[in-house]
A = this chain, B = another copy of it.
């Protein structure tokens, strides 16, 4: 079982999809009687299917003091059911040459397999069985907790960049649970247990809180039949309340976080701004933020790269990103890595100047066209990849968007104007909404202090 913690980034989805443009796939969407939502993306070019179950639950749905529970449960979902003891599901997938994975974010938890078409029903039997049939004993829970602690150790505790990211999220989100790390705070992971995991499972893992996405060489009718024969037999075990998390107060004060670590080889600078997501934005704002991130910081023609890396020669890299796929208010980021003998404040001043120019003077028609063309092309490229498309739908549907929203995305991006890009920059790239993170090599005095 491989398990990863990810954050949904629309940009990331698109960028992984490179290839020839393909005809738009046919997407169907329906619900089973037990409330399970189903999305079928038919693509008959190769006899394989991508099968994903997404639950509308993530780290931001955990109770205070129990951070890491959503991710821990993701691990425990591989521990077997009455019908299928631990390991059998993964073993069978391996035997037939399939792949599997699972992932947890603040907003969702998902289970993924890629398998040859004729094994789909078998797969659906396994996956539907563990939707409500998980059996957990202390014998399996306790060792798995050590696996998760080791994962935290490897991915975060021993990774200064990841630790800085954790601290920045906590300083950006003053009230919303997005401030908590998805993997959990270590001292809280250590206290997770079987009873807590089971209670969380019973509360959130129920067909009416899940979305099945099947992409590949199948038709909607085939999937509907198979889904009814498998998932259709799973009873609702809980009614699920609306996902109302504590929201952020209006941001009022610029923050910084400095993480010094002896292992840092390359100092760097990150900044996150609190901005609307595709689900919380006013019409057009999220699309404009997406375009802004392209113009500001995507690729070597972007404003940041040209100004800081090429023209001023201050940095080895500089960029921007926007994490639009999010149930609640999300992040817009900029970053820079200074060249040797250049300081972080020099790079930060240069980044600030680039942002100030966009705020003051807006963007050009050429920049706008290029960004929109590239974003729309990315969605076309995405259609060439089963898993990418499946993931786009799953992430969207678990963060407040609809199938129609996904399908209208390219059109909506097409309508972004230079004025709306300048307006979102002006409104949201305000330092008071931001946390700036500095990753630096630990200096001697701090090392002395630790001893």
Q: Taking beta carbons and an 8 Å cutoff, which residues of A are in contact with B?
A: 64-65, 67, 163-164, 167, 170-171, 174-175, 177, 179-180, 185-188, 244-247, 249-250, 252-260, 356, 359, 426, 430-432, 445-446, 449-450
Contact = CB atoms under 8 A, between A and B. Distances in A.
A18 B105 CA distance: 56
B249 A186 contact: yes
Given A64-B245, A430-B446, A430-B449, 12 more contacts: A65-B244, A164-B253, A167-B253, A171-B171, A187-B249, A252-B259, A253-B257, A255-B257, A359-B449, A426-B449, A430-B450, A432-B446
Tell me whether chain A's interface is mostly helix, strand or loop, or mixed: mixed
Number of copies: 2
Contacts of A164: 253
A187 B65 contact: no
8 contacts: A64-B64, A65-B245, A164-B253, A171-B174, A186-B249, A188-B247, A254-B260, A432-B446
B246 A64 contact: yes
Given A171-B171, A359-B449, A187 B247 contact: yes
* Residue of A186, A255, A260, A426 with highest tally of chain B CB at under 10 A: A255
Contacts of A432: 260, 446
A259 B250 CA distance: 13
A-B pairs with lowest CB-CB distance, top 10: A170-B174, A65-B246, A167-B253, A253-B259, A256-B256, A185-B249, A64-B246, A254-B258, A253-B257, A171-B171
A432 B246 CA distance: 27
A15 B308 CA distance: 54
A245 B188 CA distance: 11
* Residue of A174, A186, A254 with highest tally of chain B CB at under 10 A: A174
A136 to B, nearest CB: 24
B255 A255 contact: yes
